Structure 1
């Protein structure tokens, strides 16, 4: 039992250290010796748990998906009175802020978008599907403008969040509450449908209709 507990702690330490290194350095530049040093374990201990850097990257990405899933579930349960669009905004903003504060989530997105890896993108695929579901809920609740495509809206949001993560490698402020607020200030009016019947001559979702 003691050996099992020690092995589990070593494995967890390696995952945490790998996430920090992958988040800072990316997949190609991350080295196993650096990960071992960060985790405080020997290279032998690393290879006991993970056969390769790619195997370790897959473990980090899977853990990041689990962490992001908790954020999404927590966002849905936080306020049962929230509208579907409010849940979308809160969930996407929470994931963006987690990229800034949690190396595991940041590493997951960075690994998922790394073209040097084969067969990755697990977190990207999950995030795309989650955003699609959130947008579809807003559509089903009648909260989207009638001319807004669910697929188009989801593509814009997923692309933006991936872009914010990439730009944060250059300037950390890209993953901040202020940037998230600016993004939604720009995007939300386009997504949201009119709260009531359109006035005479107005097109659905705002704007003037044809003369």
Structure 2
């Protein structure tokens, strides 16, 4: 049992070290030697757990995909979203994702690896995210939460393009992943996405957040709040 626990810890250390090196250098430039040094594990010890750099990259992607599934499963917006408000579920999920990207190098590296054209990835995290956002916007449409004339496909396209853009920019400059940056995005976009009856109750900084932007601020952008 002690050996198994030690082996599990070593494996976790290697995955995190690989993620750090991949995030800093990219898959092509990253070397097994650099990863083993970062992990404090010999090259032989690394190869005991992972046969190649590709296997390490796959392990990083798999962990990132698991973390993303936890975000989306926790914010499920299909049959009976939280409080019947699919748009708020979507807003909250984007905050969860950005917080995860900011805090977890494995998730950041996983997103970078799946977009790396120099290798064939077994995981497409951006597609996984896109499918969930499309699911959420369809739920919002069924509940009458989208603005008149707005299709769920168009709403999903805006959210996916913007959040993936923040993910890409945040890989190099962490401020793009900050809660206030995402809250400002939602404050600008929600008046175009949400139906009038929904807009005033939405919280751009995420339910329970504190980025300083409120649903009332969103409504004000339409000029609907008197002085």
Scaled to the shorter chain, the TM-score interval is 0.7 to 0.9
1:174 aligns with 2:171: no
- Output the TM-score relative to the length of structure 2: 0.78
Tell me the residue number matched to 1:70. 70
Instruction: Indicate conservation of the 8 Å contact 1:111/1:120, yes or no.
Output: no
Instruction: Indicate conservation of the 8 Å contact 2:62/2:123, yes or no.
Output: no
What pairs up with 1:99-138 in 2 under 5 angstroms? Answer: 99-138=101-140
How many residues get paired?
A: 196
Give, in angstroms, the shift of residue 102 of structure 1: 1.2
- Output the TM-score relative to the length of structure 1: 0.83
Q: Deviations over 1:179-202 (max 9, x none)?
A: 101211122111112329xxxxxx
Q: State how far apart, in whole Å, the 2-side matches of 1:28 and 1:13 are.
A: 21
What pairs up with 1:40-119 in 2 under 5 angstroms? Answer: 40-76=40-76, 80-81=82-83, 83-119=85-121
Q: State how far apart, in whole Å, the 1-side matches of 2:82 and 2:151 are.
A: 26
Give, in angstroms, the shift of residue 111 of structure 1: 1.2
Give, in angstroms, the shift of residue 117 of structure 1: 1.9
Q: Which runs of 5+ in 2 are unaligned?
A: 199-221, 223-227
Alpha-carbon RMSD across the aligned residues, in angstroms, is 2.2
Q: Deviations over 1:152-190 (max 9, x none)?
A: 222222222221122124422111111101211122111
Instruction: Indicate conservation of the 8 Å contact 1:111/1:121, yes or no.
Output: no
Q: Which runs of 5+ in 1 are unaligned?
A: 197-205, 207-211
1:187 aligns with 2:189: yes
1:31 aligns with 2:31: yes
What secondary structure does 1:27 align onto? coil
Tell me: CA distance 1:152–1:87, structure 2 relative to 1, closer, same or farther (3 Å): same
